[in-house]
Structure 1
Amino acid sequence: MRRLSGVTIDCAEPAVLAGFWSALLDRPVSAEHARPDWATVGSRFDPAPRLTFQRVPEPKRGKVRLHLDVEVDDIDEARARIEELGGRWTGERHDYPGEGVVLGMTDPEGHEFCVVQYF
């Protein structure tokens, strides 16, 4: 095993989600999976894992047992930016005194992720 090269996320609209995550993470959409039912943010050659979105016919049902954590400098600015891009706040917030703050968010298709601000 060398390293984690990426995460693949099932979705209805790969290009839409790739655009959301590209803007959020300031990473480019790549042509690494140049197929109409796939879209990719980043590359397998990047030091950070790439995100690949693959179209599936079935809708998301229930809570996924894996989510991404995105570190931010300002939790309130991050929430506003995510909502501007089409994501939403779940209403979940955890404050850890002396450590940081975590907000539960979703992307435009409802995939859960957290934004984390460490102190």
Structure 2
Amino acid sequence: MMYVFWSAKSFKAPTWPQDELAFHMDISFDDVEAAEKRLLGLGATKPAHQPGGDHWTVLLDPSGQPFCISSTR
């Protein structure tokens, strides 16, 4: 598997949830609590607005782009 990332000089993080997102990523984990802890340790943040209830958790990557994590079950 190969991942490619690059920086966009003109990138401005969305003001979520007010702004429409250009894309959205959902990631599933067997152990969501451990994944959340690891992602927060890597620089993600957890916003107060959590519309998923018990179904998913919204995190923000270091640039401010939202993504969701959930259980594979």
Compute the TM-score of the two structures, normalised by the length of structure 1.
0.47
Aligned residue-pair number: 67
Aligned counterpart, 1:116: 70
Cα distance, 1:58 vs structure 2: 4.7
- Are residues 1:94 and 2:53 paired? yes
Number of the residue aligned with 1:15: none
Identity %: 21
Separation in 2 of the partners of 1:110 and 1:54?
13
**Larger % of strand: which?**
1
Q: Which has the higher helix share?
A: 1
In the alignment, structure 2 segments of 5+ residues that lack a partner are none
Distance 2:68 2:14 in 1: 19
Deviation at 1:60, TM superposition (A): 2.1
Residue 62 of structure 1: which of 9, 12, 15 is its match? 15
Higher CA-based Rg: 1
**TM-score normalised by the chain length of structure 2:** 0.71
Q: CA deviation at 1:75?
A: 1.3
Deviation per CA, 1:54-73, whole angstroms, max 9, x where unpaired? 32235324232521011111
Structure of higher RCO (CA pairs closer than 8 Å, 6+ residues apart)? 2
Runs of 5+ unmatched residues, structure 1: 1-26, 28-41, 43-49, 96-100
